[in-house]
Amino acid sequence: MAYPTVSAPYGFQPINRIGGNPYAGSTRLIPVDSGAVYDGDLVELLASGKCAVIASGSSAAQCLGVCVGVQYTNSSGQTVQAQYAPASGVTNVVAYVVDDPTALFKVAVVSSGTTMATLTRAAVGQNATVILNSGNANTGDSAQAISSTTADTATLPIRIIDVVPETAPTTTTYAEMIVKINTHSYNNTTGI
């Protein structure tokens, strides 16, 4: 068995770009429409020009990118930079979003909810849905993951690019995958 063990989903973590260039930390500040948003959550661009956590993890998802932190004004009028923004009691919420359509992310695989699962190397090149678990207010981390059920359906939001061998529970199964956003907003030729 590999070490360390992945015991729960943690959202999407940027690692590099599709061509192999390292992730340099580039983000875009995008106002948040409403609702809580956590570090590692996939977000979508709304018609208002603001973003929100994606409302669908299936073929309806048009993802803008991944939130990697937030800034907001708390009830005392102080500007706070944090890993997540609560759904209420704060104003002026903006998300730091990795919005590069060629960015790659590491993500956990689940069968449903937060129940960890695995995929084999045969999943590389397939598409997957996003499991929209609620984030953790104690850590500020997302609990989103991808489904262990994959398909070749073009409208599924996530494309599996590779496996993560460092945390593989066996020599042929993988608890984490390297993925890209398959239905990225910037590649949607009809706009929002």
The reply to whether omega before 165 is within 30° of 0 (cis) is no
pTM of the model: 0.94
Q: Which two tokens stand for residue 148?
A: 């262990």
CA distances (Å), 23 to each of 13, 19, 150, in order? 10, 11, 26
- What is the chain's pLDDT, residue by residue, as a tens digit (192 residues)? 456 889 999 999 999 999 889 888 899 999 999 999 999 999 999 999 999 999 888 888 889 999 999 999 999 999 999 999 999 999 999 999 999 999 999 999 999 999 999 999 999 999 999 999 999 999 999 999 999 999 999 999 999 999 999 999 999 999 999 999 999 999 988 877
Instruction: Give the 3-state secondary structure of residue 178.
Output: strand
Q: How far apart are CA 152 and CA 126, in angstroms?
A: 5
